[in-house]
Amino acid sequence: MDSKQQSEWLMRTLSLQTPPVAVKYIRDWSEEAEWELADKGYYRPKAPLNVCQFVGQARHHLRKVVATAEDQVCNIGALVTGAHPYDESMEHGEIAKKDGVRKTPELCEGMFQTLPRAQFGEIKAMAFAPLEKMEMTPDQVIVYGNPLQVLKLVQGYVYAEEPRFTITTCAKYGVCVEGMAEAYVTGKPAVAFPCRGERVSSIVQDQELSITIPYTLLDEVIEGFEKTKHLLPTPIPFGGVDQEPNFLPDYYLTEAAKKRRA
């Protein structure tokens, strides 16, 4: 599939409310590169914004955006996308201490010392666009959905790759840290719980999660989804909470249950 077909498949098969967002990490940046992207419809924001806002512009307004370090307002998003140095303040978790997110200074420091992040200066700029509009080969694709939609994509990934899937979170930062940076560092899909910044400035709803998928794995995730879609049919019919679960095949049943069915 090309990116347009992938986007159409995701939208149709998962019944997504908003389109997948493609992310391209740009490691060589120049005025010429900026003009080339401008000719393709990418614009730089007029004021510094959060990373999640760049995602939100592509997701909700179908815009194509390119952002450098100068275009980022949040130190956390800038840190994990390589636009802010991992300096002494970051190493000691000073932001976490001021926010009061952990009981002790040591926990605040440990939180920041374990944040996934790109190396400072490694990424010179980032381009965001709806997947179907991204002309460059993306590095990542971000999908927002409800827990069932995200679970189906996780199931598609683990089908051929892993016996278990690990979700890691500091319970504070969302798509920039637990999504984009985590997937960037590990090369694996990353599920993120949207943070306050996303909810306030990026139109993220209470029922939504995000999953960031390395683009090199997207076709594999789609194939795995197709192989496992019988496990989570949609819509799933509801049964009563006090009724025998007749949908379970025999190989799921306990011996006691088999005897009572006989």
pLDDT (tens digit per residue) in 34-87: 999 999 999 999 999 999 999 999 999 999 999 999 999 999 999 999 999 999
The residue-averaged pLDDT of 105-134 equals: 98
Contacts of 74 (CB under 8 A, 6+ apart): 50, 51, 176, 197
* Paired tokens of 215: 């683009």
Band of the pLDDT at 147, cuts 50, 70, 90? very high
Band of the pLDDT at 237, cuts 50, 70, 90? confident
Q: Are 190 and 157 in contact (CB under 8 A)?
A: no
- pTM score above 0.85: yes
Measured CA angle at 127 (ends 125, 132), to 5 deg = 165
Decide if pLDDT at 262 tops 80.
no
pLDDT (tens digit per residue) in 238-251: 888 888 888 888 99
How far does CA 207 lie from the centroid of its chain? 15
pLDDT (tens digit per residue) in 151-187: 999 999 999 999 999 999 999 999 999 999 999 999 9
| Residue 16, helix vs strand vs coil | coil
